[in-house]
Amino acid sequence: MLTNLWYVAEWSNKVKKKPVKVKLLGQNFVLFRDSKGKVNCLSDICIHRGGSLAGGWTTERDCVACPYHGWEFDPEGKVQFIPSRGEGADIPERARIDAYPTQERYGMIWVFLGDLPEEERYPIPPFPEFDDRKNWRPIYTQFDWTGSADRVVENGIDIAHTAFVHPGFGYPEMADKNHIASIERTEHSGSSSCVLYPPKLDGNLGLNRFARKDKAETHVHPGFYLSGHCVRLHIQVNSWMEMIIFDANTPIDENHTRSFVIQVRNFFKWGMFDRGSVKRTQEVFEQDAAIVEALSPNYLPESLENEVSVEQDKFMGAWRKVRKNHIEKGWKIDTKAMEPFEGEKVFTIPSPARRTNPDLRWALDTVPLVPGTKRQLDAVPVTENRSA
Ligand code: FES
Ligand SMILES: [Fe+2]
């Protein structure tokens, strides 16, 4: 699991005034909305006696109160009020927990889990079609996997599995016709263009059957972003029907992933088609889960030595490369190093304030990280092309 990235913690409409507990990267966090409507994210562990802030309430000071002794934490994680000491009493400087940057985008709450300053963070992935309601209609769903997020992302951008795992997407006997036409990679993302030959479309009251001939050349553009461990799958069904599946794949812990999924389509934009759309998207995730949850190992191997790859796996290689670069910067959580402390000690993800307040003796230790081998990367985009 990787720190110093934006991740989706929850849907925007799930977080109102009442604190909400979420788990990401194996740690608990509390989300709460203040009186200005801004969502805040704090470590869920009260540094007084370990209370879970998510069990508390929001206060008039725009704080979240711990349910154990009522200490109030502001959006920056600083204690503003200790009821047992009373109004106006001194607050110890160490009475502070980690607070994480938040943004709301695409109806999702994004939290930055790491200590990098703003200018060094990879951006939240673009999704311009989401805001273009005139041309695109969205549906929302989510999916929980018993599997690691890196495997889930790899599955999402893998075109060679579609003919085998998703009967609606292709024919196993035509697997050699599917191909990757181009790949592009940046320091933190990748995109590709592929050609597939799927069967006629099913669903939408049978209207889809007129949309595409059997085995017609279909252009699919898978993409990934390290931010949010997002996958974007743009499918050009025919000359006038397109859909984009955008999912943020949040690592809950090492072997659990929650996908926050938005699908937009530029056809049949009436609400009566939404239910069918959600159902078909869920079916696709279920087909994938049956495979991904049975993979060995259940995480992405760090080296290619124990696997055999072929040409069609090239785009997955781009994802692995981008992920590896981040690990080499020293931002992978060393979960094994935490194991001996299980049940004895808690850790927290370092927040940006740790860098700006290096002299503060923070109450909680930060998660151990696998030492990096480099700090800087070539930011030059790599482009590979071959004719289709
Ligand atoms: S444990 Fe949170 S106020 Fe005491
Ligand atoms: Fe799939």
Domain topology for 128-322:
Naphthalene 1,2-dioxygenase Alpha Subunit; Chain A, domain 1 (3.90.380)
Contact 233, 245 (CB under 8 A): yes
Q: What is the pLDDT of residue 206?
A: 66
Which ligand is in closest contact with the Cα of 290? Answer: 2
Ligand 1: which of 45, 66, 94, 96 to mutate, judged by most atoms within 8 Å of the beta carbon? 66
| Predicted confidence (pLDDT) at residue 382 exceeds the cutoff of 50 | no
* 239 DSSP assignment: S
- Res 95 pLDDT > 70: yes
Return the ligand number nearest the Cα of 281.
2
Phi/psi zone of residue 106: left (φ > 0), alpha (ψ -120 to 50 degrees), beta?
A: left
* β-pair type (99-100, 79-81): unpaired
Average pLDDT over residues 355-377: 85
Q: Which CATH superfamily is domain 5-120 in?
A: Rieske [2Fe-2S] iron-sulphur domain (2.102.10.10)
Task: Tell me the per-residue pLDDT of 122-140, one tens digit each, with 9 for 90 and over.
Answer: 999 999 999 999 999 999 9
Tell me what the pLDDT averaged over the chain comes to.
91
Alpha carbon distance 204, 295 (integer Å): 33
Query: Do the bridges between strand 256-265 and strand 137-145 make them parallel or antiparallel, or are there none, so unpaired?
Result: antiparallel
Burial 140-150 (b: 16+ CB within 10 A, else e): bbbbebebbbb
Q: What would the two tokens of residue 140 be?
A: 């929302």
- Cα(71) to ligand 1 centroid in Å equals 6
With beta carbons less than 8 A apart as the criterion, state whether 60 and 288 touch.
Answer: no
Long-range CB contacts (< 8 A, 24+ apart) of 306-313? 311/180, 312/159, 312/160, 312/178, 312/179, 312/180, 313/158, 313/160
| Distance in Å, CA 160 to ligand 2 centroid | 9
H or E element at residue 155? helix 149-156
In single-letter form, the type of residue at position 345 comes to: K
Q: What pLDDT does residue 303 have?
A: 73
Range in 86-90, 199-203, 348-352 with the lowest mean pLDDT: 199-203
Ligand 1, residues at Cβ distance < 6 Å: 46, 48-51, 66, 68-69, 71
Domains 5-120 and 128-322 share a fold: no
* pLDDT level of residue 32 (50, 70, 90 thresholds): very high
Q: Tens digits of per-residue pLDDT, 195-224?
A: 988 877 776 666 666 677 788 888 999 999
Task: Please give the number of the atom of ligand 1 that sits closest to the Cα of 70.
Answer: 3
- Closest ligand 1 atom to Cα of 51: 1
Nearest ligand (C-alpha, residue 66) = 1
Q: pLDDT at position 176, please?
A: 85
Q: How far apart are the first and last CA of the chain?
A: 35
248: three-class secondary structure by DSSP: strand
Percent of the chain predicted with pLDDT > 90: 72
Token pair listed for 15: 């977080």
Per DSSP, the three-state class of 232 is strand
The percentage of the chain sitting over the pLDDT mark of 70, rounded to a whole number, equals 94
Q: Return the number of other C-beta atoms located less than 10 Å from residue 162's C-beta.
A: 21
Three-state DSSP class for residue 161: coil
Ramachandran sector of residue 163 (left: φ over 0; alpha: ψ -120 to 50; beta: rest): alpha
**Spatial distance between the Cα atoms of 40 and 121, rounded to a whole number of angstroms:** 18
292-320 tens-digit pLDDT:
899 988 888 877 777 888 888 888 999 99
Highest-pLDDT range among 84-88, 256-260, 340-344: 256-260
Domain borders along the chain are 5-120, 128-322
Long-range contacts of 297-303 (CB under 8 A, 24+ apart): 298/147, 298/148, 298/151, 298/255, 299/148, 299/150, 299/151, 299/254, 299/255, 300/148, 300/150, 300/151, 300/154, 302/327
Q: What pLDDT, in 10s, does the model give residues 236-272?
A: 988 889 999 999 999 999 999 999 999 999 998 989 9
